[in-house]
Amino acid sequence: MILEAFNDRASCFNFDLQSCSAVLSTCSNDNLSGVGSSNECGFSALYVLNEKLYLFVNEKNIDVTGDGIDYKYRHDDSGVTHFSVIKDGKVCVQISYPCWRVKGATEPVGFGMADDDDEDFFAYVKLMLETDNRKLHLLKKYSI
C-alpha cells in the first residue's frame, strides 16, 4: 500500500504489511491508503484497510476504528516524549523517544506544545483519532 510521508507531502512510503517493511520514494500515486513516518521508533503508520482505521507501531497493527480507545501523549522534563494506546483498559503499545523540540530548542520542553501535531507523528495520531469526525475524515480520505 502507498502511504504519504508525514510532514513530507512530496514523498511516499511503499508499505508491505506482510513483511512490515516500508520504502520511501517520490510520491507519484494518488491512491493513498494513509500516512507513515520513519523515526527513532522505527516505521509507524496510520492507514485504512477494508474500511477500518489501523495504527501500525512496533510491528503491531491496532484496529483504532471503534470506541474504547485512549491515547496518551506527553513530554517529560528530561526531553522525552511518551505515547501509548490503551484499548479496553489494556495497553496495546507504549513507546518513548526524544522530543522533537529538544533538537534545537530555545525554550523548555512542555506538555502538549502547540506545534506537536505538526512536527510529531504520534501527536498527529492522537489528534486525528480522538474524535469521530476526524476518524471519519481519515476513512474518507484514505479509502480506495
Query: What secondary structure letter does DSSP report for 124?
Result: H
Q: If residue 20 lies in a helix (H) or strand (E), which one and from where to where?
A: none
Instruction: Provide the whole-model pTM.
Output: 0.87
Domain count of the fold of the chain: 1
Q: How confident is the model at residue 29, as a pLDDT?
A: 65
C-beta neighbour count of 139 within 10 angstroms: 14
What is the domain extent for residue 26? Answer: 2-142
Q: If residue 133 lies in a helix (H) or strand (E), which one and from where to where?
A: helix 132-142
Strand partners for 48: 53
Per-residue exposure over 118-132, b if at least 16 CB sit within 10 Å of its own CB, e if not: eebbbbbbbebbeee
| DSSP reduced 3-state for 9 | strand
Segment 92-112, tens digit of pLDDT: 999 999 988 765 554 554 444
